[in-house]
Amino acid sequence: MIKKFFTLLFSGKISRAEKALEHMRKRYKLSEDDGYYKALYGIYYSYVSDDKNSYVFKVWEKFLNGESKRSIERSFKELLRDLYDPPSDFIQAWIDFIKMLDKLPTPHKFKKT
């Protein structure tokens, strides 16, 4: 279900990605304050709003420039350790995203440049 959400989002099917995210929230009874949901929504919002300085864009840039998923995951964990202590489910959502990078379509916003 999460892979479907990311696939829709990065394929440019924004309204369908939004519906998939809402469906996940309802199906798994996640509140809007749930860390995993917050992370997914943050990825969605940053991508949709074209926030090129957001972490989701930085992760894709690193990956598309040849950096390994393992290296990206390691740098993500280091970044979190240095900044603050977020909920583990928030971290897990980002780790899941990073681990799926090679199984997701290249974001449509990167293809335009």
- pLDDT tens digits, one per residue of 15-64: 999 999 999 999 999 998 899 999 999 999 999 999 999 999 999 999 99
Residue 107: closest CA among 66, 63, 74: 63
List CB contacts of 59: < 8 A, sequence separation 6 or more. 72, 76, 97, 98, 101
Answer whether residue 85 shows pLDDT above 80. Answer: no
Per-residue pLDDT at 64: 94
Per-residue pLDDT at 113: 43
Residue type (1 letter), 70? R
Per-residue pLDDT at 111: 65
Q: What rounded mean pLDDT belongs to the chain?
A: 92
Looking at residues 82-87, what average pLDDT do you find?
Answer: 72
In angstroms, rounded to a whole number, what is the distance separating the alpha carbons of residues 30 and 35?
9
In angstroms, rounded to a whole number, what is the distance separating the alpha carbons of residues 2 and 17?
10
Answer whether residue 112 shows pLDDT above 80. Answer: no
